[in-house]
Structure formats: C-alpha cells, structure tokens
C-alpha cells in the first residue's frame, strides 16, 4: 500500500514541461521526420529540449489527451470519438507501392494492387512476370499507413490475413529490399534505392504529380493537442509549419502544407 501513496506523490509532480522538455509522441511514420525537425529546432534554441517518441498514432493521441505528451503525432485522420482534441496538419505524405528493384514491373492499376493484397492474385505470372508466389507485406491493424491504404486502395475488400505483417515502414522496406518476390507499401519519403516505387494507375509517385493531384495516395501528418497549444508546444508547432521547415519537409521527401503558386 505504501508504494501506491508513493506513486501518487510522484505523479503529482510529474506534470509540467520544465524538467522533461517538450514531449512529442505518436506515429512511427512521423517520428523520423519529427526527429529531424527537432534537431533543427534545438540547434536554433539550444536551451530547449524536445523529446520525440514513437509508440504509434493511437498511443500518441491518447498520450496527448492524458497529458503524457504535449503533442501527439498521428499519421491518420482523427476518429469521431477523438474530436475532443485539436489537430494541425504539419505535412502531407505520399504512399508508395514498392517492390524489389529486380522486379520487372513498373506500375500497377488499383485493381491489380487490390487483387494482390486481398489474396486473389497469388502468383507473379498473373502479371506477366516470372512464375513465383507473391510475398505480400502489410502493416499491422491500427497503423495509420494501413488505414490510409485500406481506405484509398482496398476500399471494401480485406487485406488477406495470410500477408506478412510488420509494424513499421522501415521493416516493410527491409523485407521488400531483401526478397525479390515481395510487394509492400510505405511512406513515400522513406523510399530509397534498395526498393522500387511503382506507378499507381499510370502515375509516377512524384511531388509534381502529388501537387497536381494526379497521384492520389496521400495522407496528412497531424500534430494533435489537448486544447489550444500554448508555450513550448505552440512555439514548436509554429516552427514546424514555418516556411523554412516546410522547405526542409520537401527535401525529406514529404509534401509541404502550402503549395508553390
């Protein structure tokens, strides 16, 4: 019993950002970029500390609601029951369908992608590629990336439960980079030369195409706060949506919130 009292006492003094710095927690898709922004922020203001945490969109949203984090990061839209929180779009992210660089395919239609991920198309030969079973790699239930993919590509069909499930963009990329017969989907900003991003419905996943709304697989990166942000949180959000950082966002492979007009 004594340690409950002891915890209670400690929890009383755990609030307040002064000693722990600004805590930003949530989506593992946003995390690498937020880390980068925080590095710049702390270079400008060496006396301020920003802690970027993973954990996932839902964990971040919950942490923001319960005060464990000052800002929650989400890579999916807020659900209706989460509308007690305020959201700021800090960047847009494309979703890329990726295969191994040795794969002869250059692009797929939405129906083909849906067929592969629902388990209707099981062999590359169906797509005029060398005969081999397709290894489908997807994200876990609840992931913002998966939610976006489900909504924009799969629509009403289910992703086959036989697909390999991984819990981050990086691991999906690693698997696809090492297995010549696999296919997956990741954040456009994380595509590198170890994997090949496919055209989707004939459209190359480039920033021009996203800007012109030709490439349709995009989703917002959100910063979520409980009530209007203030103090350090407001300061950091303003820093992130400033023109200078938004230019950086483009270099990182994301799509800025303002369009070049």
Partner 1 sequence: MIAFSAVSILLIITIFIFGEGMPVMVKYGLRKFLFGLDWFPLERSYGLLPMIIGSLMVTGGALVIGVPFGLACAVVLTEFSSKRLRRFLKPIIELLAGIPSVVYGFIGVVILIPFIRDHLGGPGFSVLASSVILGIMILPTIISISIDSLEAVPRTYREGSIALGATRWQTTRMVMFPAAKSGIIASIILGMGRAIGETMAVIMVAGNAATIPRSLLDPVRTLTSNIALELGYAAGEHRQALFATGVILFVIIMILNTIANMTSRKRRP
Partner 2 sequence: MKIAVPPRTEQGIIRALLWLLTAITVFILFFIIFYVLKRGLPVVSLEFLAQNPTEMGKAGGIFSTIIGTIALTLLAILIATPMGVGSAIFLTEYTRENWITRMIRFGSECLAGIPSIIFGLFGFILFVTKLGFGWSLLSGGLTLAFMILPTIIRTSEEAIRSVPYAYREVSFSLGSTKWQTVTRVVLPSSLPGIATGVILSIGRSIGETAAVIFTAGSSLHVPTSLFSSSRTMSVHFYILAREGISMDNAYGTAAVLIIAILGINVLAYSLMNRFMRRYC
- Pairwise CA distance, residues 236 & 34, whole Å: 11
Is 58 among the residues that bind partner 1 (CB under 8 A)?
Answer: yes
Q: Which two tokens stand for residue 232?
A: 């350090």
| Region near partner 1 per CB under 8 A, out of 16-24, 99-107, 137-145, 215-223 | 137-145
Residue appearing with tokens 């203001």: 45
Contact 23, 68 (CB under 8 A): yes
Residue 95 has phi, psi (to 5 degrees) of: -115, 125
Is 103 among the residues that bind partner 1 (CB under 8 A)?
Answer: no
Is 57 among the residues that bind partner 1 (CB under 8 A)?
Answer: yes
Residue 81 partner contact from partner 1, partner 2, none using kind-dependent CB cut-offs of 5 to 8 Å: partner 1
Contact 26, 33 (CB under 8 A): no
Is 135 among the residues that bind partner 1 (CB under 8 A)?
Answer: yes
Residue 49 partner contact from partner 2, partner 1, none using kind-dependent CB cut-offs of 5 to 8 Å: partner 2
Longest dimension (CA), the chain: 69
Is 84 among the residues that bind partner 1 (CB under 8 A)?
Answer: no
Question: Using CB under 8 A, which residues numbered 179 to 208 contact partner 1?
Answer: 179, 181-182
Closest CA relative to residue 138, chosen from 120, 125, 156, 119:
119
Q: List residues binding partner 1 (CB under 8 A).
A: 1-2, 28, 54-59, 61-62, 79, 81-82, 133, 135, 140-144, 158, 161-167, 175, 178-179, 181-182
């Amino acid at each position: 019993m004594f340690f409950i009292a002891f915890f209670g006492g400690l929890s009383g003094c755990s609030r307040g950002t002064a000693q722990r710095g600004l805590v930003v927690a949530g989506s593992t898709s946003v995390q690498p970029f937020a880390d980068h922004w925080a590095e710049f922020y702390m270079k400008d203001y060496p006396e301020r500390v920003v802690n970027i945490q993973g954990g996932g969109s839902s964990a971040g949203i919950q942490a923001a609601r319960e005060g464990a984090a000052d800002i929650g990061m989400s890579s999916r839209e807020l659900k209706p029951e989460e509308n007690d929180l305020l959201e700021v779009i800090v960047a847009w992210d494309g979703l890329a369908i990726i295969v191994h660089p040795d794969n002869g395919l250059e692009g797929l239609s939405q129906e083909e992608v849906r067929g592969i991920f629902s388990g209707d198309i099981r062999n590359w030969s169906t797509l005029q590629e060398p005969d081999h079973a397709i290894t489908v790699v997807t994200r876990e239930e609840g992931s913002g990336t998966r939610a976006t993919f489900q909504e924009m590509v799969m629509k009403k069909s289910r992703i086959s439960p036989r697909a390999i499930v991984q819990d981050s963009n990086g691991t999906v990329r690693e698997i696809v980079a090492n297995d010549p017969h696999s296919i997956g989907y990741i954040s456009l900003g994380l595509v590198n030369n170890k994997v090949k991003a496919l055209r989707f419905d004939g459209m190359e996943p480039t920033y021009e195409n996203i800007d012109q709304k030709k490439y349709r697989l995009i989703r917002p990166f959100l910063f979520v706060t409980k009530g209007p942000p203030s103090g350090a949180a407001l300061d950091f959000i303003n820093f992130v949506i400033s023109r200078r950082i938004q230019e950086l966002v483009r270099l990182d492979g994301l799509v800025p919130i303002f369009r070049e007009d």
